[in-house]
């Protein structure tokens, strides 16, 4: 009887898992945080501000609403254009769309980042991912999952400090990509772009933003402050990451989604 009962439980679990997989096939997952007064920006940047210009029934008798907003380029879920760290490289409006739409790959370093909030994602992490899941494909949107999204938008936990101004930069603590890993990617893989669930591709304690520099010189955009990476598989989905098309912009607010394979 015990064996039969155990087999029944296992079968039910497998059926439930199959149903869940069927429900999620083709699902669209929004990897974007809303822009609001809570949006996380760099300590030296002004935050997002929304001004209500109209909201209500007007003199002609119909409802009408309109707002204006003000925000720094780099904050919340946003794009780093290559020109952000490479003179003469493409600004936002000249980033090829082919770099912003492609097969998604998630490299999961949550366990290591949980033990070290200044963790650097290494070339060895990328190689280990490929051993387990196959090569990173050409044109991939490579996403680094550190687990930091679980504390957004708590600035103290997410950034390491809730202070603002230049003095706060020394207090930033969050994981990022090792420069040696950025070099490995540029030399060995032809990715479209790279994203992360922290405030920067470089870790919080970086002084020279070497990974940004390496990637930008290779024309590779960065996607920062990504949401819900914990809901993605290691592969088998497409990413569409479309920024506000700011002429000459070094960065821009980004709407990015993942579409799971059907």
What integer pLDDT is reported at residue 55 of this predicted model? 98
Helices 123-133 and 179-188 cross at an angle (nearest 10°) of 50
Is the per-residue pLDDT at 5 higher than 70? no
Query: In the numeric block, which tokens belong to residue 51?
Result: 């001004």
Write out the E strands in the chain.
28-30, 49-57, 63-70, 78-80, 101-108, 120-121, 141-145, 176-177, 193-196, 222-224, 237-243, 251-260
DSSP 33: P
Residue 133 annotated as catalytic: no
State the catalytic residue, choosing from 84, 129, 133, 212.
Answer: 84
Identify the three-state secondary structure at position 72.
coil
Domain count, the chain: 1
Task: Assess if residue 118 is contained within a domain.
Answer: yes
In this structure, are residues 147 and 107 in contact, taking their beta carbons and an 8 Å threshold? no
Taking the CB of residue 50, how many other CB atoms lie within 10 A of it?
13
What integer pLDDT is reported at residue 12 of this predicted model? 47
**Average pLDDT of span 77-104:** 98
What integer pLDDT is reported at residue 26 of this predicted model? 86
pTM for the full predicted model: 0.90
Residue % of the chain over a pLDDT of 90: 90
Residue 215 confidence class, pLDDT cut points 50, 70, 90: very high
Residue 262 confidence class, pLDDT cut points 50, 70, 90: confident
What integer pLDDT is reported at residue 1 of this predicted model? 41
Is the per-residue pLDDT at 196 higher than 70? yes
In this structure, are residues 248 and 91 in contact, taking their beta carbons and an 8 Å threshold? yes
**Average pLDDT of span 242-250:** 98
Average pLDDT, the chain: 93
Question: Shortest CA distance to 27 belongs to which of 233, 256, 241, 260?
Answer: 260
**Average pLDDT of span 229-236:** 98
What pLDDT digit, counting tens, does each position of 81-91 carry? 999 999 999 99
Taking the CB of residue 262, how many other CB atoms lie within 10 A of it?
6
What integer pLDDT is reported at residue 124 of this predicted model? 98
Q: Note the Cα 112 to chain centre separation in Å.
A: 18
Task: Assess if residue 5 is contained within a domain.
Answer: no
**Average pLDDT of span 88-114:** 98
Segments in the chain forming alpha helices (H): 2-24, 110-115, 123-133, 155-159, 179-188, 210-217
**Average pLDDT of span 216-226:** 98
Give the least confident one: 5-19, 149-163, 214-228, 246-260.
5-19
What integer pLDDT is reported at residue 17 of this predicted model? 44
What pLDDT digit, counting tens, does each position of 9-55 carry? 444 444 444 434 444 778 999 999 999 999 999 999 999 999 999 99
Task: Assess if residue 157 is contained within a domain.
Answer: yes
Task: Assess if residue 82 is contained within a domain.
Answer: yes
Task: Assess if residue 12 is contained within a domain.
Answer: no
Domain with 183, as residue range(s), is: 27-260
Task: Assess if residue 124 is contained within a domain.
Answer: yes
Q: What is the CATH number of the domain that holds 254?
A: 3.50.30.50
- The string over 196-207, giving b where at least 16 C-beta atoms fall within 10 Å of a residue's C-beta and e elsewhere, is bbbbbbbbbbbe
**Average pLDDT of span 239-258:** 98
What integer pLDDT is reported at residue 25 of this predicted model? 76
What pLDDT digit, counting tens, does each position of 147-173 carry? 999 999 999 999 999 999 999 999 999
């Amino acid at each position: 009887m015990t064996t039969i009962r155990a087999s029944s439980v296992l079968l039910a679990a497998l059926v439930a898992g199959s149903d869940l997989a069927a429900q999620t096939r083709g699902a669209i997952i929004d990897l974007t945080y809303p822009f609001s007064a809570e949006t996380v920006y760099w300590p030296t940047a002004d935050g997002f501000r929304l001004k209500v210009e109209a909201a209500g029934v007007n003199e002609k008798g119909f409802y009408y609403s309109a707002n204006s907003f003000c925000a720094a380029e780099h904050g919340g879920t946003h794009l780093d254009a290559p020109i952000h760290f490479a003179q003469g490289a493409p600004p936002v409006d000249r980033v090829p769309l082919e770099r912003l739409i492609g097969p998604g790959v998630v490299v999961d370093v949550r366990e290591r980042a949980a033990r070290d909030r200044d963790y650097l994602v290494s070339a060895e992490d990328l190689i280990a991912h490929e051993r387990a899941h196959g090569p990173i494909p050409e044109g991939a949107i490579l996403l680094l999952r550190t687990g930091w999204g679980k504390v957004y938008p708590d600035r103290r936990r997410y950034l390491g400090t809730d202070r603002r101004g230049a003095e706060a930069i020394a207090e930033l603590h969050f994981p990022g990509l090792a420069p040696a890993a950025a070099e490995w990617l540029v030399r060995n893989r032809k990715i479209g772009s790279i994203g992360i669930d922290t405030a920067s591709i470089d870790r919080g304690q970086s002084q020279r933003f070497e990974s940004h520099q390496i990637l930008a010189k290779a024309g590779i955009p960065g996607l920062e402050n990504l949401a819900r990476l914990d809901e993605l598989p290691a592969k088998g989905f497409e990413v569409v990451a479309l920024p506000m098309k700011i002429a000459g912009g070094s960065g821009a607010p980004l709407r990015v989604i993942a579409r799971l394979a059907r």
